[in-house]
Structure 1
Amino acid sequence: MFVSSLPEPAAANRMVARAALASERSADGRTSRIRTLRSDGPLVLRPSNPKGAEPLTHRRHDVARISLAAGTAGPLGGDDYALDIHVGAGSTLVLQEVAAMLVLPGATGGRSRMSIDIRIERDATFVWWPEPIIAAGRCDHCHNVRIAMDPAARLVLREETILGRHGEAPGAFASRLRITRAGAALYDQRLSFGPASTGWNGAAVLGNAKAVGSVVAVDPGWGDAPPSAAPFDRDAALTPLAGPGIAIGAVAADSLTLRRLLIRGLNELGSPWAI
């Protein structure tokens, strides 16, 4: 499990939540099902039955689908959330979110933290399609995602971050997304902005953008020849990884434009990725 080197939030005036989710292939091999579903306080996990063929799973019908909702406001300064996800061998798990996550300052200050550990086993597929994280003014938040994949596993992940609410400068925000295959690093992205960071609003990082996001797709079917680089917009590009994967990165003036750019990047891949 990923252990951050950052200090623990102060024990007082904070909420600690630990949730878990796991999928497996059914005994008859015909479908995927949920084996573990444990909500905790602000992290509410609910089954959400597929309405048809699921995009980004190569249009499969036999998937397990879960929605993540917020049981309380936050996280607030000092809160400590953690979510553990295990995608069992041969299963397909789709995780979506009901609404954006608004990261807020706490009444007594302190850093909030969200840690997410994900394991994807052989021949499994994990599609994680969250809503944006909004870094409100005066927040202080650390967001860590660690994904460990089997070489025969498949992943599609979206990340979107909004820098403050309307007319508001963002607080301090730091995130890290690290993906490994068979223990070797495939993707390791860090982003920090706000008053605790230097140079984040320069031309080499975010500039005047108020929204930043990415889509990462890993598919062993690409082998050693993932799609070629494609700068398809002034503010967005698709780039291959050093393995069977690609990353689509974009910045934008607002969340709607960011979402359109990321979808456009997927459409650049053609079928079966286009949505």
Structure 2
Amino acid sequence: MPASGLRATARIHAVADGRGGTALPLLAGEGPLALRRTRGPSAEARVMLVGAMSAPLGGDHLTVEATAGPGARLALASAAATLALPGRGGEPARYDVRLTLEDGASVRWLPEPLVSVRGSELRVRTRVVLAPTARLLLREEQVLGRAGEDPGLLSSRLTVTCGGRPLLDQELACGPGAPGGWDGPAGLAGHRALGQLLVVDPDFADDPPAARVLGECAVVTPLAGPAVLVTALAPDALRLREVLDAACRTYHG
């Protein structure tokens, strides 16, 4: 492997097949980003991201690109948690996700948690572009350190546009080297699992969900568009998933 690290891209393109289902004319993975089509409802194409090797290591750059054409329905998931691991050269790793949804398309992006391992540095960037009539369910879960260990440095940014207008743009950084206060009372307050659930649905334009508190460390925030954002903190990944699953049942059905 070159000193600069591994470069790998997974590409998915989903289209309505004209018979009420969704076809995948493009399903191509590289290196650690292996893709497998799995069974699901006939109208929805389901793709599993299967890690073929340990990644991302420091210096690696992994990219997932998915496009859903008009009327296509696509569900994306991962088979296991992603571990951000330190590399030999001390360089940061990068993990980019790019989702494009055209008119009437529906995408569910539900990966397993990302675990920031001690000594690692990972920069995650997720970009989503939606047509005004598209629907999106997006879940992000981040765990700071394995059991009994400190985390690495993790920075993450999520940007979403709908109909060409900004819907959400947020950034966070956690771990050694992050801006001060990330673990204080105004930040994570000692929690080691954090996540969010974003639901974009045109129906929310006429009937938006109300802002509310979900338990001790989770909140529901309606966005200035047909969307709702649920953010949560938890002591571990199991409790975080319970909170986000409950929110998913409420706002996505």
Both proteins in one fold, TM over 0.5: yes
Q: In the alignment, residue 203 of structure 2 is paired with which amino acid?
A: G
Which stretch of the first structure deviates more once superposed, 219-228 or 69-78?
219-228
SS at match of 1:263: helix
Which of 137, 147, 151 is the matching residue for 2:128?
A: 147
Aligned pair 1:17/2:8, yes or no? yes
Q: In the alignment, residue 107 of structure 1 is paired with which amino acid?
A: R
Offset of 1:224 from its aligned partner?
4.6
Aligned pair 1:175/2:148, yes or no? no
Aligned to 2:101: 120
User: What CA distance in whole angstroms lies between the structure 2 residues aligned with 1:192 and 1:250?
Assistant: 16
Aligned pair 1:239/2:239, yes or no? no
Check whether the contact 2:48–2:76 (CA below 8 A) recurs between aligned residues: yes
Offset of 1:121 from its aligned partner?
0.2
Unpaired runs of at least 5, structure 2 = none
Offset of 1:265 from its aligned partner?
1.9
Check whether the contact 1:224–1:243 (CA below 8 A) recurs between aligned residues: no
Aligned pair 1:228/2:218, yes or no? no
User: What CA distance in whole angstroms lies between the structure 2 residues aligned with 1:12 and 1:117?
Assistant: 26
Offset of 1:49 from its aligned partner?
1.1
Q: Deviations over 1:142-172 (max 9, x none)?
A: 0000000000100001000000001111111
Q: In the alignment, residue 254 of structure 1 is paired with which amino acid?
A: D
Q: How does 1:34-113 map to 2 (within 5 A)?
A: 34-50=24-40, 53=41, 61-113=42-94
User: What CA distance in whole angstroms lies between the structure 2 residues aligned with 1:251 and 1:30?
Assistant: 39
Aligned to 1:260: 242
Check whether the contact 1:237–1:265 (CA below 8 A) recurs between aligned residues: no
Offset of 1:21 from its aligned partner?
0.5
SS at match of 1:233: coil
Over 6 Å off, 4+ runs: none
Paired-residue identity, %: 36
CA RMSD of aligned residues (A): 1.2
Q: Deviations over 1:87-129 (max 9, x none)?
A: 1110000011100000000022101001111110000000111
Aligned to 1:156: 137
SS at match of 2:214: strand
Unpaired runs of at least 5, structure 1 = 1-10, 54-60
SS at match of 2:248: helix
Check whether the contact 1:45–1:67 (CA below 8 A) recurs between aligned residues: yes
User: What CA distance in whole angstroms lies between the structure 1 residues aligned with 2:23 and 2:10?
Assistant: 18
Which of 166, 178, 191 is the matching residue for 1:209?
A: 191
Check whether the contact 2:3–2:89 (CA below 8 A) recurs between aligned residues: no
User: What CA distance in whole angstroms lies between the structure 1 residues aligned with 2:20 and 2:66?
Assistant: 22
